[in-house]
Amino acid sequence: MTRLHTLLFGILIGSLGLMSPARSAAAASTLDEADDYTTRASVPGKKTATSSHYTITRNTDWAPYAHSVEIAPGGVFDFSRQVAVHAPAGKDGPIMVTPDGHFAFEKQPGRRVRFWGVNLCFTANYLEPDETERLAERLARSGYNTVRLHHYDRMLVREGGNSWDIDPHKLDQLDRLFAALKKHGIYINIDLFSSRRFSPAEYAAFGFPPNLTASQNRILFKSYIPIDDAIFESWKKFAAALLTHKNPYTGLTWAEDPALIGICPVNEDTLFRNVLRNPDVRARYETLFAASRQSSVPANETPPQREAAFTRFVYDTHIRSDARIFAYLRSLGTRALLTGANYTLTQGLAWVRDHYDYVDSHSYWSHPQFPQKSWAFPIKFRQDSPIHALALVPNRLSPVRIPGKPFTVTEFNYCRPNRYRAEGALLMPAYTSLQDWDALYNFQYAMSREQALEGGVENYFAVAADPIGLISDRVGSFLFQRGDIAPANRLITWAARSEEAFAELDKKFPDNFYLLGLVSRIGAKPGTPAEVRAAVPASDAILTGATPAPASPLPPKTWIADASLIDDLKRAGVIARDAVDAKGRRVVSDTRQIELDADSGTLKVVTPRSELFYAPKGAALSGDRVAVENVTADAALSVIALGDEPLATTRRVLVTHLTDALPEGMQFEKPDRKLLLGWGEGPHLVQRGEATLTLRLAPGEWKAWAVDATGARVREIPLQNRDGKLILNSATVSPEGTQLAFELAR
In a domain, 168, yes or no: yes
What is the C-alpha separation between 147 and 363, in angstroms, rounded? 18
What is the C-alpha separation between 472 and 365, in angstroms, rounded? 14
In a domain, 593, yes or no: no
Work out whether the CA dihedral 409, 415, 421, 422 comes out positive or negative.
positive
Which of 571, 596, 620 corresponds to the end of one domain? 571
Tell me which residue range forms the domain holding 50: 3-482
In a domain, 617, yes or no: no
What is the C-alpha separation between 464 and 462, in angstroms, rounded? 5
CATH code of the domain covering residue 45 = 3.20.20.80
Which of 550, 571, 592 corresponds to the end of one domain? 571
Query: Which of 501, 494, 492 minimizes the C-alpha distance to 548?
Result: 501
Domain count within the chain: 2
In a domain, 509, yes or no: yes
Same domain, 48 and 87: yes
What's the angle, vertex CA 127, arms to CA 190 and CA 14, rounded to 5? 70
Same domain, 527 and 431: no
Which of 455, 482, 509 corresponds to the end of one domain? 482
Same domain, 131 and 253: yes
The stretches in the chain having pLDDT less than 70 are: 1-51
Q: How far is CA 254 from CA 178, 190, 239, 247, in A?
A: 9, 11, 10, 7
Same domain, 461 and 543: no
> 0.85 exceeded by the pTM?
yes
Query: Which of 504, 44, 141, 101 minimizes the C-alpha distance to 315?
Result: 504
Same domain, 452 and 537: no
Same domain, 290 and 378: yes
pLDDT at residue 32, rounded to an integer: 32
Please, what's the largest Cα pairwise distance for the chain? 85
Same domain, 502 and 375: no
pLDDT at residue 51, rounded to an integer: 60
Dihedral pair phi/psi, residue 455, rounded to 5°: 95, -85
In a domain, 172, yes or no: yes
Same domain, 89 and 185: yes
pLDDT tens, 80-91? Answer: 999 999 999 999
pLDDT at residue 26, rounded to an integer: 34
The residue type found at 49 is A
CB 531 within 8 A of CB 495: yes
pLDDT tens, 492-550? Answer: 999 999 999 999 999 999 999 999 999 999 999 999 999 999 999 999 999 999 999 99
In a domain, 174, yes or no: yes
Same domain, 413 and 525: no
Same domain, 155 and 39: yes
In a domain, 537, yes or no: yes
Same domain, 306 and 223: yes
Same domain, 475 and 518: no
In a domain, 308, yes or no: yes
